[in-house]
Every structure is written in C-alpha cells, then in structure tokens.
Amino acid sequence: MLLCLVCLMLPLFCLPVHGDAGPKPSVVITMEGLDGRKCWGTLLTPQKSTGPYSAADELELSEKLEPGEREAWEQFFSFSLGQGDSLNFLGYVDDCSDGVFRWTYYPPTEFQMALWFPDTGTLLVSEQEERYAFNSYFTLNLQGQSWQGGEQARITLARSYDYGGEFLALLGRVVLTVGVEVLLALAFRFRNRRQMKVILVANLVTQGLLNLALNLFTYFCGELAGMTALFMGPVYLLAELAVVWVEYKIYRKLLVGQEGVGHSRVLWYVWTANVLSMLVGAVLSFQLLQIF
C-alpha cells in the first residue's frame, strides 16, 4: 500500500518547476458598452497588501510604465490618498480597453473597482464588492452613460459567474481522464464488451464526482485567498485515493474471476490508470488553460 501511495504522489514531482506554481484566485470584470474607449482599471481596497502587491506612502513610478499607464497610476494613487485608510492603491493597473479587466494573481478580497478614462479625464469608482469564489466574475454595464471631464461617479458591478463555461471545462476534464483510463484498460487486456462497459461507467461516475467536488471546493473557498492553493494539493490527493479505493472495490466485485481476471491485474490497473491520468492532467493543465 505504501508503494502504491508513493506511485500516486510521483506525478507531483514531475511537474515543471516554478517559483510559485499552483492555482491562484482571480477577479475578471467584463465591461459592456465601453465602445472602444481607452480605459485603465484597478481594484482599490481596505487591505494594505495582497500577494506581491502592497500600498505605499509615496508613489514610485517605474521607468517601464507606458505614458498612459503612468497617468493611471497617478490618478489612482491620488484618489486613494483622499480616502484615508479606507481605500488603498496596491500598485496594480490593467489596460482594459478591450472590455475586460483582469487581476489574475492574488486580487484583494474586498475592493472597489476604479476606472480611468484618459481621453475625458473621467474617474469612475464602483460600490464595494468582494470575491465570492476562488475565480470571481463580474459584469459592468456602461451602455448609455456619458461623463463630463473629471467627473467621479458610482458604478455597480453585477456578479456573473461563468457557470456554463465552468461546466464545459468540467466535462472536458472528465472526458480527458476517462479517455486515458479506458485506453490504458486495453493495455491491461480488458477488452471484451462487458469489461469495457464496467470500466467506462465506473470512471464516468468517479471522475465526474471527483471533478464536481473539486469545482465546488474552489468555488466556495474564495475567502481563503492563497490558502486554497495550499489546501488543493492535499485535498486533491485524498480525493484521488478515494477514487482509487472505490474503483478497486467496483472492479474486484464485477471483474475479478471473469475470464481469468485476477486481483493483481485489477489492483495494478487501478493504480496505474489513476497515476497516469493524474500525470497527464498535471502536464496539460499548463497547456489547456481553458479546462483546467
């Protein structure tokens, strides 16, 4: 059993090495009605720091900043100073002229979105919001609005979690995992119709429940911020061990003794299939970001 556990953990050491690998919380805000206007955005927050970002007493501008980006920094910093300790500018801005604001690396938990339109000198600030999921999505409707130069107005964010996209990503992960394990079953000489049906159904159920549980875990852990990344490894490993145990129980009951299938073949197949699918998933998670 110890050897099998070591085998299951081996894929964790086969991943590309990064200084800070693992899932990170994010905030994505889609803006409707921007109509191609130049726009810079940030999230102002009561927090003093989050991840690598932190508030500063004095504005320090990097020489690498673009002219428009430099002006946005100045506007957001100046506005935050007038709010005392209630709102801080953490030194992150995003060019959201394409209609989407993205903060994909440790965004603040509580925040107010600020938008700067350099063409009209308009600064917009939203009502207070918070991350409600590990990956939080919002929509901002700007259609029909007009602003005078320099005007500051309150805007409202609407939560718009991409349930459809997340569901399709879940299906993609399940299909990928089941495909790997079904193909590997052929190498272990599980080839007749009944054997393949048992393996296919068992994998659809266990992998479907596994991915659904992991989706729910990340959705409801929005407030844990970076801690979710630390919890994900152990949670995922325990979930995989549960899948191995359930699949082995199913195959031992329905396949062992049928057409010369023994316990050892079933046991080795279950462990090999789950280790391989875990390894494939870990590698592809850096390539297929749409489903991982």
Domain parsing of the chain, residue ranges: 26-159, 163-284
Interhelix angle 2-9/227-254, rounded to 10 degrees, is: 130
CA 286/CA 218 separation, integer angstroms: 18
Question: What integer pLDDT is reported at residue 288 of this predicted model?
Answer: 62
What number of CA atoms fall less than 13 Å from residue 230's CA on the CB side?
A: 4
Q: Cα 252 vs. chain centroid, distance in angstroms? A: 36
The confidence band for 38, taking pLDDT boundaries of 50, 70 and 90, is very high
Q: How far is CA 8 from CA 155, 213, 228, in A?
A: 49, 19, 21
15-24 tens-digit pLDDT: 433 333 445 6
pLDDT at residue 103 is higher than 50: yes
Straight-line distance from the first to the last Cα atom of the chain, in angstroms, rounded to the nearest whole number: 30
Position 77, amino acid: F
Q: Comparing C-alpha atoms, which of 114, 106, 141, 110 is closest to residue 128?
A: 110
Q: With pLDDT > 70 as the criterion, what percentage of the chain qualifies?
A: 80
Mean per-residue pLDDT, 103-122:
91
C-alpha–C-alpha distance, residues 142 and 126, integer Å: 12
Residue 153: pLDDT band with limits 50, 70, 90: low
Structure pTM?
0.67
Beta strands 152-155; 122-126: pairing state: parallel
pLDDT tens digit string along 224-252?
544 555 566 677 788 889 999 999 999 99
* Amino acid 6: pLDDT: 42
What confidence score (pLDDT) does residue 292 get? Answer: 54
User: What's residue 287's pLDDT?
Assistant: 64
Q: Give yes or no for residue 282 having a pLDDT over 80.
A: no
The pLDDT score that the predictor gives to residue 9 is: 43
CA dist., res. 168 & res. 166, Å (int) = 5
162 pLDDT exceeds 90?
no
* Those residues with Cβ within 8 angstroms of residue 57's Cβ, 6 or more apart along the chain or in another chain: none
pLDDT average, residue stretch 126-154:
81
Which one is predicted more confidently, 143 or 268?
268
Task: Note the pLDDT tens digit of each residue in 170-223.
Answer: 888 899 899 999 999 999 999 899 999 999 999 999 999 988 887 787 777 655
Q: Does residue 35 surpass a pLDDT of 80?
A: yes
Of 82 and 152, more confident: 82
pLDDT at 95: 95
> Taking all residues of the chain, what is their mean pLDDT, rounded to a whole number?
82
pLDDT-based confidence at 159, cuts 50/70/90? Answer: very high
Mean of the pLDDT values across residues 83-97?
92
Model confidence at 143: pLDDT above 90: no
pLDDT level of residue 285 (50, 70, 90 thresholds): low
pLDDT of 22: 47
Question: Average of pLDDT values for 61-72?
Answer: 80
Lowest pLDDT segment from 50-59, 160-169, 194-203 = 160-169
Whether 223 contacts 109, CB under 8 Å = yes
Q: What is the mean pLDDT of residues 251-278?
A: 89
